[in-house]
Structure 1
Amino acid sequence: MRLLLLTGLAMLAFAANSLLNRLALAEAAIGPASFAAIRVGSGALVLLSLLCLRQGRWPDLPRPEPWSVLGLAAYMLGFSFAYVSMDAGLGALVLFGGVQLTMFLGAVIEGDRPAPRRWLGMALSMAGLAVLSLPGGELHIAPFALASMGLAALGWGIYSLRGRRAGDPLAATAWNFLYCLPLMLVVLPLWPDGTPASWAGIGLAVLSGAVTSGLGYALWYALLPALGASRGALAQLSVPVLALALAALLLGEAIGGLAVVSAAMILGGIALGLTGGTGRRG
């Protein structure tokens, strides 16, 4: 029960990220590159402060984990640029559909053999995502936004797969954010924002970075060893459902009939996959 509750808290943090990012960009309160940079910087500051408090000193600087840092950078940038023209709920659907595919394929390549019920759960959840792209459906996304969110999905999938090996979730997340920050700063002059950053936009970026990203990702890294790659991928498919509901409630985004059907199929797939066996390693 404790694992279930903590996983639900992490998923709520992930859904909140979609809302905070979309709210800031939709209101033209900040540009995507600045939002990503402030998000990563504030997350690094909070996590490293907690790390220093825990150890009573500034910790020794470890070697970076290149794949984790690159995965986090790809996610942060793709996520922000996609939400310039994508609704929060639909963006989360695209993101975590790609994440599920990345994590399942990564798990299989590494030798995991998910149980049959988990494969069926994945198939049902992915079918729920596909419902949105039916003719006359609700998935009307600009190609650049779709490509950006695809990059974010690949990055987050890699980051989550790497997280299963994190011996110290807080430290791993803190250092990943710190090493990711220079990559965010390089993007600012290469793709400058056309929107000046307002105090409201900066505040939303800090909230996303310090709380729903930094602390949320540290919690996620702590949960991943117990969840495993395939169950972790399935659990994350609850995020689009949460994001759709919260976006409708707080941002006034419309939820059509296909979105409701899609959400029901996704939740059904999660339930089916999470009640299956643990599978085995090859």
Structure 2
Amino acid sequence: MKEGPFFLGVDGGGTGCRARIEDAAGRVLGQGLAGPAATRLGIEKTWDAIMAASADAMSEAGLGQEVLGQVRVGVALAGLSRKGVLEALSNHPHEFAGIVFVNDGMGACLGAHSGEDGAIVIAGTGSVGIGLVDRQELRVGGYGFPISDEGSGAYLGLNAVRAALRAHDGREDKTALLAEVMKKFSHDPMEVVRWMDQATATDYAVFAPTVLRHAEQGDPAARQIVQAAAGEIDTLVRALLAQGAPRVSLLGGLASPLEPWLAHDVRRRLKPADGDAVSGTILLAQRSAGE
């Protein structure tokens, strides 16, 4: 029988929940997957997803229920700041040696810098800057689309649709990108309005790959939109550096496509992430053992 202590890290989001368990020497023993764990789904569904991913990882590691008392758990969750969520999860009965929670962005930040001071900018469907300096958490942006999330996939899509309507009206030059966007709506502005009434950030972000493709092909409207998005990411990085972050990592689905468009001074200050959000939650679990 394997001897503890064991450290289990869980990263729960709106599309799925990942878990990984390691021994005290840092060896990966097992990994697990489960369904969505975003707190908007409700406390019980979130808890069930955490437990399912954890059980999957422990099963792969060959660990049974009898060792739960030797397992310390760190969990990063989307939506942890929702009122009452942290208290409810922290008070949920379990058989682990201990469990600690953090929001998903901070989990990613801890993993990116191996628990040391640093910051991340996440550029995906949304965008946000998160950091940790002298035990103080930093946050820049990320207040939700459309009022925030600048430089994100949703931002690219919004500006593409906006420019397409302007071109349709003759208020700016038509380009291949803007024609392709309007074709999605049968070249009918009222179809755009109908779609807009129900569209989410994810719906707008669907246009992001199209914008990036046209930008790479030299489309002037696409290039202008991508350059503006990159400028917003530049601003997030510089704000975190100005607040004392010694290093910044760029994460998310748009990290690689947008990085070549960033300002030279920003690109020089970026560093690759050491690890992922699960790495960050395992660090949390390890720290909890020493507290």
TM-score, structure 1 as length reference: 0.28
Structure-2-length-normalised TM-score: 0.27
Q: Which has the higher contact order (CA 8 A, sep 6+)?
A: 1
Q: Which structure: greater strand fraction? A: 2
Higher helix proportion (structure 1 or 2)? 1
Rg: which structure is higher? 2
